[in-house]
């Protein structure tokens, strides 16, 4: 059962990619790159493989960082492991909802945007609630990451910046 629970978020992330690939031809010629919370300031970019699959790729990068931390501390504390699992599920469902936002007709775009926002807030709150006791009693010596884990997290950070931040400046 535990292995199934570990695989589900990765399957949801894969589903996001599959949905976007399936509906790629019906996606408008411009794809939303960034929007403000109230939708009055938005940045669009021409439809391309990069702009369409950018959001799930960002979530896969985030999920990879979460997975490194989840595995690193899986044996340290159950609550801490569950906290990282909640964040992994949150990233996966955020990716799915944003894929649905990309393929949905204009009148439903805002619905998916706000549902995604709520899912992320609820996921973060649940993770904080689950991990709060662990952080208050956490021995900082156990936080040491080995060289491979540090390298993975650095690569993931660079990938995130390249996928999430750079396009904002390129398409503005």
For residue 140, the model assigns a pLDDT of: 57
For residue 99, the model assigns a pLDDT of: 95
Q: Which stretch, 26-40, 46-60, 71-85, 120-134, has highest mean pLDDT?
A: 46-60
Q: Coil, strand, or helix at residue 113?
A: helix
Q: What is the pLDDT of residues 65-107, one digit of tens each?
A: 999 988 887 777 788 888 999 999 999 999 999 999 999 887 8
3-state helix, strand, coil in the chain (%, to 5): 75, 5, 15
For residue 96, the model assigns a pLDDT of: 96
Cα 72–Cα 78–Cα 84 angle in degrees, nearest 5: 55
Cβ partners under 8 Å of residue 145, min gap 6: 72, 153
Cα 28–Cα 33–Cα 36 angle in degrees, nearest 5: 115
For residue 133, the model assigns a pLDDT of: 74
For residue 80, the model assigns a pLDDT of: 83
Determine the average pLDDT of the residues in 24-44. Answer: 80
Determine the average pLDDT of the residues in 23-37. Answer: 86
Q: Coil, strand, or helix at residue 138?
A: coil
Q: Which is higher by pLDDT, 110 or 1?
A: 110
Determine the average pLDDT of the residues in 133-145. Answer: 65
> What percent of the chain is modeled with pLDDT above 70?
91
For residue 39, the model assigns a pLDDT of: 55
Q: Is the pLDDT of residue 137 over 80?
A: no
């Amino acid at each position: 059962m535990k292995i199934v629970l570990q695989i589900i978020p990765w399957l949801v992330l894969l589903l996001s990619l599959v949905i976007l690939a399936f509906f790629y031809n019906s996606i408008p010629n411009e794809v939303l790159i960034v929007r403000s919370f109230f939708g009055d300031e938005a940045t669009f970019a021409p439809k391309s493989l990069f702009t369409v699959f950018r959001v799930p790729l960002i979530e896969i990068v985030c999920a990879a960082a979460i997975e490194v931390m989840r595995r690193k501390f899986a044996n340290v504390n159950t609550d801490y492991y569950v906290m990282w699992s909640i964040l992994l599920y949150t990233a996966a469902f955020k990716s799915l909802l944003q894929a649905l936002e990309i393929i949905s007709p204009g009148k439903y775009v805002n619905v998916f945007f706000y549902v995604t926002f709520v899912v992320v807030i609820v996921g973060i709150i649940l993770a904080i609630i689950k991990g709060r006791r662990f952080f208050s009693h956490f021995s900082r010596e156990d936080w040491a990451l080995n060289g491979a884990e540090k390298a993975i997290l650095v690569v993931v950070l660079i990938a995130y910046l390249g996928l999430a931040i750079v396009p904002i400046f390129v398409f503005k």
